[in-house]
Amino acid sequence: MSEEKIKCVVWDLDNTIWEGTLLEGGAQKLTPGVIDVIKGLDERGILQSVASKNNYDDAYKRLCELGINEYFLYPQINWNPKSSSIKEIAQKLNIGINTLAFVDDQPFEREEVAHLCPSVMTIDSGDTKNILSYERMTPRFITEDTKNRRSMYIAAAKRDEVEKEFEGTSNEFLQSLDMELTIAPVNEEDLQRAYELTIRTHQLNSTGYTYSYDELKEFIEDDKHIFLIAGLKDKFGDYGKIGLILVENNEDLRIKLLLMSCRVMSRGVGSAMLIYLAKLKQKLNKRMFAEFKTTDRNRMMYITYKLMGFDEIEDNDGDVLLEYTSDEEKDYPEYFKIKE
């Protein structure tokens, strides 16, 4: 398998982002050229963070003075090993650690990270100017959602903070978000994002099938396919387009693909999409099947199907076929406003 694209670049500060060492009176200006790389990555939707051994308040203040603080999500400025800072960042962003890259001038730090997080790409800060031309830093597409990715994560961080301090039950919290879920046919402007979702989503993906851009385009026009995209908004902002459904519509309905972005894992989007399909099944009065390909990462999708009323009817070495057999009347979770 080819290596996954980088989703987040983690920067060292001293002698990497800025010249010299903050504690020794350095850090007066940015390393030449670094700002172009930071802005370039940001435009490509690649997130950025910091792993630096410094005093948090002093170093963060300097980032603000240099006018670049807003580029970095969950900056880790502390005296912990950088490998643990990197793990923390991956966890906070909820992305696979193998999609992180780490830039540092010191071989010791790069080796420490390479040793404890071998799937992280390490980069000598001397090579900063070439980062934008790395293949793994070049997304296949730039979509509306790519460009807004950083602000979506910032909204998510705010949301997390409010959730932590929220006094009440988790349902009351969901209720308080004023979520609006849209499920609608994919149109041409959505295609690149739809494609991006199929290749970026691994955990919450029922089959992992990928299709070329042109194949996806055909599904829009072809009446043998039902091809839907879901978007989510709440009072903190837009999550963008976060879910995709592809159903073959022949004598029976056959769900080829059901996926959603990890960012909405704890929002119950999966059930809403399945309830949408259950209602559709009822309207069309057809049997409904779902294909499922077992991987070591997508068990949650299996559980979602099973507890939303699907029965397993076949399992050939992890290639599972499920059928919707529930006769329970299901309704959307009350904390969603659904727009179809």
Cβ proximity of 166 and 176 under 8 Å: yes
Report residue 280 CA to chain centroid gap: 28
Interface residue with other proteins among 106, 312, 323, 338 (CB under 8 A) is 312
If you ran DSSP here, which 8-state letter would residue 251 be given? S
Calpha distance 174→177 (Å, rounded): 5
Element (H, E) at 50: strand 47-52
If you ran DSSP here, which 8-state letter would residue 99 be given? G
Cβ proximity of 196 and 141 under 8 Å: yes
Calpha distance 221→9 (Å, rounded): 39
Question: By CB under 8 A, how many residues form the interface with other proteins?
Answer: 30
Calpha distance 80→186 (Å, rounded): 46
328 contributes a contact to other proteins by CB under 8 A: yes
285 contributes a contact to other proteins by CB under 8 A: no
313 contributes a contact to other proteins by CB under 8 A: no
13 contributes a contact to other proteins by CB under 8 A: no
271 contributes a contact to other proteins by CB under 8 A: yes
Q: Following DSSP, what letter does each residue of 130-157 receive, concatenated?
A: GGGG-GGG--S---HHHHTHHHHHHHHH
Interface residue with other proteins among 315, 319, 337, 340 (CB under 8 A) is 315
| Closest separation in Å from C-beta 139 to other proteins | 29
Map residue 264 onto helix, strand or coil. Answer: helix
Binding-residue pattern over the window 164 to 203 for other proteins, x denoting contact by CB under 8 A: ----xxxxx-------------------------------
268 contributes a contact to other proteins by CB under 8 A: yes
282 contributes a contact to other proteins by CB under 8 A: no
316 contributes a contact to other proteins by CB under 8 A: no
Interface residue with other proteins among 270, 277, 288, 289 (CB under 8 A) is 270
Give the amino acid at 219: F
Indicate the residue among 224 and 299 with the shorter CB distance to other proteins.
Answer: 299
Indicate the residue among 12 and 234 with the shorter CB distance to other proteins.
Answer: 234
309 contributes a contact to other proteins by CB under 8 A: yes
Calpha distance 38→5 (Å, rounded): 17
Which of these segments, 57-65, 94-102, 113-121, 270-278, binds other proteins (CB under 8 A)? 270-278
Indicate the residue among 23 and 313 with the shorter CB distance to other proteins.
Answer: 313
259 contributes a contact to other proteins by CB under 8 A: no
304 contributes a contact to other proteins by CB under 8 A: yes
Indicate the residue among 165 and 334 with the shorter CB distance to other proteins.
Answer: 334
Nearest to 156 by CA among 69, 76, 259, 148: 148
240 contributes a contact to other proteins by CB under 8 A: no
Q: 335's torsion region: left (phi>0), alpha (psi -120 to 50) or beta?
A: alpha
326 contributes a contact to other proteins by CB under 8 A: yes
Chain position carrying tokens 């990497």? 16
Contacts of 7 (CB under 8 A, 6+ apart): 46, 47, 93, 95, 96, 99, 100
334 contributes a contact to other proteins by CB under 8 A: yes
297 contributes a contact to other proteins by CB under 8 A: no
Structure-block tokens of residue 266: 């704890």
Which residue ranges make up the site for other proteins (CB under 8 A)? 168-172, 266-272, 274, 300, 302-304, 306-309, 311-312, 315, 326, 328, 330-331, 333-334
